[in-house]
A = this chain, B = another copy of it.
Amino acid sequence: MFAAMNNIEDLHQRPIVSVDLAIFALTPDGLEVLLARRGVEPFTGHWALPGGWIHVDEDESLEAAARRVLSDKTGVAAPYFEQVGVFGDAARDPRGWSLSVTYMALIMPDAVILQHGGNVTDAAWHPIAGEATAQPLAFDHAAILKTAITRLRNKVEYTTLPVHLLPEAFTLSELQAVYERLLGRLLDKSAFRKRIAEVDFIVPIVGEMRRASNRPAQLYRLKQARSTVFFDRTI
């Protein structure tokens, strides 16, 4: 048996590997996740995290596969992107031992043109209540989504991740509102601004003001390219 294990040519020892995405956006209704309704077995008709296979024959890397899935489903190319983890056992897919490499992405819902095709009959934003969606999900996607939500909520506490849920230019009041909605509690204005002032990659766009509210407000932007990871703590 051990000999068979070590034979790389034994294809039946290779698991099914999918790349799945927890794509988050903030809508007027709160934090939502993009789900796809399955058009094929197993779990036909169930909602699931959008996913796909790796194009091994095209030498596509893991992250490239994840970005392709995101682009295929949303038309969005380079938002915030992070690997959440790997989930693998014999029970999660009735077709056999399988492995899901899960990424999470934060995007602006306005920029998105939802696409469905292939094995998917519908795609829609679903609100998150607590740590789950209202509908049951296919496979172990409820558990995977829970992991992604926990990671997102944790990172809100100690990173500037919420900027990725806003457009390129934003005011500090808008940013604070995003933090408050994600954290579910109000923040002190003065303390919030002091903290953002310490972060050197959130910079004012000199001269540019927003007139939307009843008073003009300074616009801010990220210093680096939007897709860059820039946390104080790497994880």
Contacts and interface: CB of A to CB of B under 8 A. Distances in A.
Nearest to A17: B15
How many copies the complex holds: the figure is 2
Contacts of A52: 5
A90 B5 contact: no
Interface stretch (A56-64, A121-129, A178-186): A56-64
A6 B234 contact: no
A154 to B, nearest CB: 5
A15 B14 contact: yes
A62 B83 contact: no
A131 interface: no
Contacts of A17: 14-15, 17, 99
Interface in A5-30: 5-6, 8, 11-17
Contacts of A86: 62, 83, 85-86, 101
Contacts of A60: 89-90
Interface in A58-85: 59-62, 83, 85
A88 interface: yes
Interface of A: 2, 5-6, 8, 11-17, 40, 52-57, 59-62, 83, 85-91, 95-97, 99, 101, 118-119, 150-151, 154, 157-158, 233-235
